[in-house]
Chain A
């Protein structure tokens, strides 16, 4: 019982932080109808500002707190002005990509400014602990509690009782009506971005105080949890965001206490998944959860249009779309096959194989996210299923590579079909969360199913590929890996192209463009969505298999959400649904950080900037949307 109460207190404390982050997502989504994936980075940034003020400038904690919140808010305004407002008239996928780019830039900037190492966050309150009826309550718990609740109460009062707060709510509920009572909705939007970022920064300082340590990459896991909490609550509801955050915090703490720390996140994401299945619009949700895509008419039983719909048409239709003919592709592949003859440089070839593998992976995702319009943040899971299958079958069972490749593809395809099941009832942003949850869950399975995956240690010593048809000669040489990867890419291109030009591809694109109209025209959407996840999974599994062979080692780290985000970035950058574009995007983004190596520490910042510029000036991606 005591343990239970202590864990409850823990859960509420961390739940407070999730709630603050979730409120940020909720406010921004309500007013601007977009998900700011850089919210986690703002959170990290807030923590570092406070750390700097306390540890370097010796300011009192309270003052540091205020400074951190103000700086975070300013950062929010800046992000909106630089990366989001210019995209307002662009395709609706563009803000997703630009906020991801922002988070890359911010995270790397933090590493440069404050070093990648973990910093201990000085907390004058540490060590003060009270015993209340047997349970332990620390002063930090109390402060987090008080600060979190005060902030939320203040926000609730602000939204409910001030003119500006009412203007924010009015704009979220009906922007056109808000304009007609004289509200400057553009100003409300700026204000909301500042406010949301301020809340994120507040959360960062609280987490710094709670765990007494901060590190530059802390933004991603917390950002994702905050997002999950917002969706749990039903993304447009502020009480929902608070409830979602608290619930997530409590369940997590109880899980890590009673089932082990490894299950902490697993429980959180399984909970999220269950809530989405039970109430696709979240606990306090409403029809606007359909978000960017949901049209008025479709807000009933049927999920609406994908946020990616009509990215191909509309005002910003690109002048140029990459549509190579079959012989162009064949020629390009043949030319690429000559690379090992030109260089024997180990490093260059290693980069080249990785580029080809990620090209294939991006192609597999562009079918799901591009052609069928299902934005997936869980694609690394399918990639990982392929890699782990290869690791186990090749290493433990010594099977020939034909069998290994086929099994990796098929198992990943099955995983893909399973992934699709919870998403069938969902649309818009809820698909993103469901796939995010699947990705997290699979990653945690890799991490915790130690008897099969060896957990965090990973599986080393995967033998080189050996084909039965080639008398099982091991392909040690990197150039062999390269040609094998190219061959698989060629197969993937063939499959992708054939499917996209077939009635099946047409059905996928029709569902993306207007799911409701497609269904009214007789397309069984669920069936085609499962199919596209299956095909995408198959190709991702092949890529995963090659990846495992290449590194001769797999570990859960390679298949986390950051990989999913990277692959999505590749697909979007290439032009969604554009196969050749995806391959180019995948190969480019996989090798760019290597090309930028002379820039040393700045390379990922440059990478982020390149992404931002691409989104700004070519929101349909390099190849153009198909």
Chain B
């Protein structure tokens, strides 16, 4: 078994008195695309926030390669080689697209990143003509492109993606997944949180299904795609 790039061991997270994650364990091998699925408020976003250091687990451990990263501040985690595409895009609204992208390379600011800028613009050709537009004036779909490009500027060894299709029109969801597929072909390791299960299971290698903060299902994506339990976890249908 190859060493995992990311491993969560029995992570418990609380928001005040409310427990959001119960003993969540999860692993991502190098080159894998692992998806965390679940309905609203299932704890899937908390999972990725825990990895990023935005939320501190009360117990349990998070390892990146062999290094323990729970308790590290977010900028340290990013500094160790993690890229993040946040939920709701979170572009810097009053900055140009170009500055948004460059800030993606903040942790590598002493290195040369002109080539990276060209590379990500090639991946998102629509951005080429809009580099000097303020990011806040773009549509939701375009902002998602900016957020993805920004994270890629990091040259991450692990890319965390939080709800990439949220609030996007079908056209942009297609575009987002095209990019994710391409990144997968290029060998980028990804941890993707997604509500849109069908979409996620088409591209993922493996997936975890969360319900009320617990992992209720896990396995290869193609197996889960055929499992009616997934549908139950989402739609609350009684069997």
Interface, chain A (partner B; CB < 8 A): 163, 166-167, 169-170, 173-174, 176-186
Task: Answer whether residue B91 sits at the interface, using C-beta atoms and an 8 A cutoff.
Answer: yes
> Is the beta-carbon distance between A180 and B78 smaller than 8 angstroms?
yes
> Is the beta-carbon distance between A176 and B95 smaller than 8 angstroms?
no
> Is the beta-carbon distance between A179 and B99 smaller than 8 angstroms?
no
Known: A170-B92, A181-B107, A186-B73. 17 other contacts (CB 8 A): A166-B103, A167-B106, A169-B94, A169-B95, A173-B92, A173-B93, A173-B94, A174-B93, A176-B54, A177-B90, A179-B73, A179-B74, A180-B74, A181-B103, A181-B104, A182-B79, A183-B106
Task: Answer whether residue B182 sits at the interface, using C-beta atoms and an 8 A cutoff.
Answer: no
Task: Answer whether residue B84 sits at the interface, using C-beta atoms and an 8 A cutoff.
Answer: yes
With A163-B106, A176-B90: A184-B73 Cβ-Cβ less than 8 Å: yes
Q: From residue 99 to 134 of chain B, which have CB atoms closer than 8 A to chain A? A: 99, 102-104, 106-107, 109
With A181-B150, A182-B106, A184-B73: A169-B92 Cβ-Cβ less than 8 Å: yes
Task: Answer whether residue B68 sits at the interface, using C-beta atoms and an 8 A cutoff.
Answer: no
In the complex, per-residue mask of B209-221: 1 if CB is within 8 Å of any chain A CB, else 0: 0000000000000
Task: Answer whether residue B75 sits at the interface, using C-beta atoms and an 8 A cutoff.
Answer: yes
With A177-B91, A182-B107: A166-B73 Cβ-Cβ less than 8 Å: no
Among B91, B92, B99, which residue has the most Cβ atoms of chain A within 10 A?
A: B92
> Is the beta-carbon distance between B78 and A179 smaller than 8 angstroms?
yes
> Is the beta-carbon distance between B90 and A180 smaller than 8 angstroms?
yes
- In the assembled complex, the Cα of A186 lies from the Cα of B73 at a distance in Å of 10
Task: Answer whether residue B86 sits at the interface, using C-beta atoms and an 8 A cutoff.
Answer: yes
Q: Within 8 Å CB of A174, what residues of B?
A: 90, 92-93
Task: Answer whether residue B52 sits at the interface, using C-beta atoms and an 8 A cutoff.
Answer: yes
> Is the beta-carbon distance between A183 and B90 smaller than 8 angstroms?
no
Q: What is the interface of chain A mostly: helix, strand, loop, or mixed?
A: helix
With A167-B106, A170-B103, A179-B54: A184-B92 Cβ-Cβ less than 8 Å: no
In the complex, per-residue mask of B49-79: 1 if CB is within 8 Å of any chain A CB, else 0: 0001110000000000000000001110011
Q: Within 8 Å CB of A185, what residues of B?
A: 75
Specify which of B78, B90, B102 is in contact with A166 (CB 8 Å cutoff): B102
Q: Can you spell out 10 A-B residue pairs with CB atoms less than 8 angstroms apart?
A: A166-B99, A167-B103, A167-B106, A169-B94, A170-B92, A173-B94, A176-B90, A179-B74, A183-B106, A185-B75
Interface size grouping (class) on chain B: 20 to 34
Task: Answer whether residue B154 sits at the interface, using C-beta atoms and an 8 A cutoff.
Answer: yes
The residue on A at minimum CB distance from B162 is: A180
> Is the beta-carbon distance between B78 and A181 smaller than 8 angstroms?
yes
- In the assembled complex, the Cα of A180 lies from the Cα of B91 at a distance in Å of 11
The residue on B at minimum CB distance from A315 is: B16
**CB of A111 to closest CB in B, whole Å:** 42
Closest 9 CB pairs of A and B: A182-B78, A182-B107, A179-B74, A177-B90, A180-B84, A184-B75, A173-B92, A163-B109, A182-B106
> Is the beta-carbon distance between A182 and B154 smaller than 8 angstroms?
yes
Q: Within 8 Å CB of B86, what residues of A?
A: 176-177, 180
> Is the beta-carbon distance between B154 and A181 smaller than 8 angstroms?
yes
With A170-B95, A173-B94, A173-B95: A180-B52 Cβ-Cβ less than 8 Å: yes
Q: Within 8 Å CB of A177, what residues of B?
A: 86, 90-92
Q: Within 8 Å CB of B74, what residues of A?
A: 179-180, 182
Among A178, A182, A184, which residue has the most Cβ atoms of chain B within 10 A?
A: A182
The residue on B at minimum CB distance from A163 is: B109
Among B52, B54, B104, B109, which residue has the most Cβ atoms of chain A within 10 A?
A: B109
The residue on A at minimum CB distance from B80 is: A182
Q: Within 8 Å CB of B75, what residues of A?
A: 179, 182-185
